[in-house]
Structure 1
C-alpha cells in the first residue's frame, strides 16, 4: 500500500505577496507546472464527515487517486495510480477502480459506489527546496475564483513550523488560517448554490 504522512504548513497569500515571493525566490514563469485536482465525495458528504477527502490529481501525464485522512496534526495520504483510459469513465460515474484507496474508504463504512465527481481545481505550481523542506507557491483556479497559497512541506513538524513562520515574518506576510484546497473548493461551491 502506498501511504505517507504529510507534514505541511499553508498560508493564503494576496496577489501582491505572491508576486513578492516569486521575485524573492527568482521564480520564472517557465518554472510553474500545471496540475488539476478532481474532487469526489458522496452526495451527502460522507467522506467530509469522516474528516477525509478524495481526489484524482492529473500531473505530468499521470492520474493519481488519493484519499486524505486526518491523522493527529497531520494528514495520512493513501495513493493509487489509475490508468489514463479509466479516468474519464470515473468522471462519468463509473465506480472507482479497486485498490488501496477503495479498501481504506470501505474501512470508513462508505459504499464506494455512492462516490461521485463534484468538481475540479487547477493549480499553477512551483516547488523550491528550502531549509530541509519543500516550499510550494500555488495559483489556484476553481469555480471562477483565483487564490494564491504558500505551502511548506517538512519531515519534522517543529522544525518545519519554525522555518515556515520565520519565512512569513521575514517577508512581512501575516499568518492566516488556511483551509485545504478541497475545503476552499467546497466552501465556494456551497456559496454559489
Structure 2
C-alpha cells in the first residue's frame, strides 16, 4: 500500500506534436510501456461526484488498484494497493474487492462497494523520462474508437512544476490546452 500526493500538469498534443516530441527526446519503441486502466464507479457516479476516480491499472510489471481524490487543481491524493492477477480478475467480474487500503478509504468516503462496477477500459502507450527535477510523460491513449495524445509533467512542488511545464510548452511551441484526466475523457466519449 502507498499513499502519495500526485502533482501533475497535463496538456493536449496533436499526433504530429506527439511524434515530434518522441523524435526530439530520442524515444525508442522499447521505452514505450503499454498500460490498461479499468475504471470503476457506481451507477449513480458516487466517485465522480466526489471528484475522485477508481481504477485497476495493468502493466507487464504489475497490477495496481488506485483511488485518486482531487485535493486542488493540479494535486491528487493517490491511495494504491498492488493486487494479483487473480484478484484483479475477480474485481473486474464484480466478485469482491481485494485492494484492502483502497477498500478502507472507499468505506470512509461512504462509497457502496457492492454497487461498484467497471464501466470501461482505456489503453495507453506511455513514455516517462526524467526532466528538470521531475518526470515528463508522453501518452498515446486508445478508448471507445477514440485516440488522443497528451504530455504530462509530474513534479514534487506545484509552483516549480507549473513553471517548468509552461516553459516546456513554450519551448516546443505547444499551445496551452489543459487535458482532462483520462477518466474524464473516457466518460465524455462514453456519453458520446
Matched, 1:145 2:146: yes
Report if the CA contact (8 A) 1:64-1:81 is conserved: yes
Displacement of 1:98 in angstroms is 5.0
Under a length normalisation based on structure 2, what TM-score does the superposition of the two structures give? 0.96
Judged with a 3 Å threshold, the aligned counterparts in structure 2 of structure 1 residues 84 and 131 are, in CA distance, closer, same or farther, namely same
* Equivalent-residue separation in structure 2 for 1:121 and 1:109 (angstroms): 26
Gaps (5+ residues) in structure 1?
Answer: none
Any idea what the Cα deviations from partners look like across 1:113-158, whole Å, max 9, x if unmatched?
Answer: 1100111000101111100000000100001111001000000111
Partner of residue 46, structure 2: 46
Report if the CA contact (8 A) 2:67-2:79 is conserved: yes
Partner of residue 89, structure 1: 90
* Equivalent-residue separation in structure 1 for 2:30 and 2:66 (angstroms): 27
Gaps (5+ residues) in structure 2?
Answer: none
* Equivalent-residue separation in structure 2 for 1:7 and 1:126 (angstroms): 18
Report if the CA contact (8 A) 1:32-1:125 is conserved: yes
What is the SS of the residue equivalent to 1:60?
Answer: coil
Displacement of 1:95 in angstroms is 2.3
* Equivalent-residue separation in structure 1 for 2:111 and 2:140 (angstroms): 33
Coordinate RMSD, CA, aligned = 1.1
Displacement of 1:86 in angstroms is 1.5
Displacement of 1:60 in angstroms is 2.6
* Equivalent-residue separation in structure 1 for 2:131 and 2:49 (angstroms): 35
What is the SS of the residue equivalent to 2:111?
Answer: coil
* Equivalent-residue separation in structure 2 for 1:61 and 1:163 (angstroms): 30
Give the 4+ runs in structure 1 shifted more than 2 A.
Answer: none
* Equivalent-residue separation in structure 2 for 1:98 and 1:21 (angstroms): 36
Higher mean displacement: 116-125 or 86-95: 86-95
Displacement of 1:31 in angstroms is 1.4
